[in-house]
């Protein structure tokens, strides 16, 4: 009976791979040991992303450019990074264990595992957005430097034009995805923006707009349980765990 189940599993796996070959731009992600398809794997770079479906399959040709390096991450598995040209029809991921020192930081072992998995899921969800936003800031920093040639109301409108350009671009590409974030994921994103930009969200709005606009959005954020002045500290509390998770994503 056991041999029969193993045979059926392998046959199912072969069928999945053959289905994948029908569409030349698709691939399947599997567990390297069990050979089982992996669902909900985050597949992304700094600007675009997707996830694998219930059969482990994902399409990447229409999403990523030929020169892109693509990251694959899933809770409980070692993150991998592949150039698009190196992605084969089957991508294998390896399970990893959680260091015991983090268990001590977070509490009891079983309670920690539940909290850790939830936190890792949330971090992996919002981390790509923080990288995207940071890249936008780097792109426009040099433009912001040119505003030193303007004064008064002229400088204000030029700054507003730049910030509006960033807002419009982000809304077009990410508005629907951002709206689906939970309150907890939103709070983590605010801290990760501080990590990537070395400035809180409040300071970013103040720099690109003005103190009054930043104050308005801070007031609005507080109503919904957020704080745009929240900073990131990788040496303390939950941020220490987040830093470990990001290290796994980036390494």
222-249 pLDDT tens trace: 877 778 888 888 877 788 888 888 887 8
Does residue 118 share a domain with residue 170? Answer: yes
The answer to whether residues 86 and 106 belong to one domain is no
Question: Number of structural domains, the chain?
Answer: 2
Domain boundary residue among 93, 117, 140?
93
The pLDDT of 76-101, averaged and rounded, is: 81
Domain boundary among 39, 66, 93: 93
Angle between helices 183-197 and 109-145 (to 10 degrees): 50
184 and 223 housed in the same domain = yes
8 A C-beta contact, residue 246 and residue 196 = no
Q: Is 76 left (phi over 0), alpha (psi -120 to 50) or beta?
A: left
pLDDT digits (tens, 9 = 90+) for 152-207: 777 777 777 777 777 777 777 776 677 778 888 888 888 888 888 888 888 877 77
Q: Judge if 84 and 107 occupy the same domain.
A: no
Q: Do 58 and 131 share a domain, yes or no?
A: no
User: Is there a single domain that holds both residue 186 and residue 128?
Assistant: yes
| Residue 65 shares a structural domain with residue 126 | no
- How far apart CA 157 and CA 242 sit, in angstroms, is 38
Strand pairing report for 69-73 and 42-44: antiparallel
**Spatial separation of the C-alpha atoms in residues 221 and 226, rounded to whole Å:** 5
C-alpha 107/C-alpha 114 separation (Å) is 11
Sheet holding 90-93, edge to edge: 57-59, 26-31, 90-93
> Which phi and psi (to 5°) does residue 44 adopt?
-160, 165
Q: Are residues 85 and 17 in the same domain?
A: yes
Q: Which tokens in the block code for residue 80?
A: 């991998």
Q: Exposed, middle or buried: residue 243 (CB in 10 Å: 0-12, 13-18, 19+)? A: middle
pLDDT > 70: percent of the chain? 79
Contact 119, 242 (CB under 8 A): yes
Domain termination site, one of 77, 93, 109:
93
- Whether residue 56 is found in the same domain as residue 110: no
Lowest mean pLDDT among 41-50, 137-146, 215-224: 137-146
User: Residue 37, SS3?
Assistant: strand
Residues 82, 167 contacting (CB under 8 angstroms): no
More confident residue, 11 or 211: 211
Residue in 121, 236, 135 with CA at minimum distance from that of residue 188: 121
Domain harbouring 55, CATH code:
2.60.40.1120
Bridge partner residues of 95 (DSSP): 77
Residues 84 and 167 in one domain: no
Tell me, yes or no, whether 233 and 211 share the same domain.
yes
Q: Which domain holds residue 149?
A: 100-250
Flag whether pLDDT at 251 surpasses 80.
Answer: no
Domain identity same for 179 and 201: yes
């Amino acid at each position: 009976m056991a041999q029969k189940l193993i045979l059926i599993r392998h046959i199912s796996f072969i069928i999945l791979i053959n289905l994948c070959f029908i569409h030349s731009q698709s691939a399947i992600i599997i567990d390297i040991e069990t050979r089982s398809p992996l669902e909900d794997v985050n597949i992304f770079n700094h600007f675009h992303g997707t996830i694998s479906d219930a059969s482990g399959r994902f399409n990447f040709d229409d999403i990523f450019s030929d020169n892109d390096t693509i990251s694959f991450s899933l809770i409980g598995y070692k993150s991998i990074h592949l150039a698009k040209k190196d992605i084969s029809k089957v991508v294998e991921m390896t399970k990893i264990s959680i260091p015991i020192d983090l268990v001590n930081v977070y509490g009891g072992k079983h309670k920690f595992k539940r909290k850790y998995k939830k936190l890792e899921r949330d971090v992996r969800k919002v981390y790509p957005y923080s990288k995207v936003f940071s890249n936008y800031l780097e792109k426009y920093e040099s433009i912001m430097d040119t505003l030193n040639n303007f004064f008064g109301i002229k400088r204000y409108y030029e700054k507003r034009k730049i910030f509006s350009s960033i807002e419009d671009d982000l809304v077009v590409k990410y508005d629907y995805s951002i709206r689906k974030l939970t309150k907890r994921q939103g709070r983590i994103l605010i801290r990760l923006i501080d990590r990537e930009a070395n400035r809180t969200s409040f300071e970013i709005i103040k720099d690109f707009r003005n103190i009054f606009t930043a104050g308005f959005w801070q007031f609005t954020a507080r109503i919904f349980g957020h704080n745009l002045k929240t900073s990131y500290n990788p040496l303390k509390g939950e941020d220490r765990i987040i830093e470990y998770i990001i290290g796994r994503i980036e390494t």
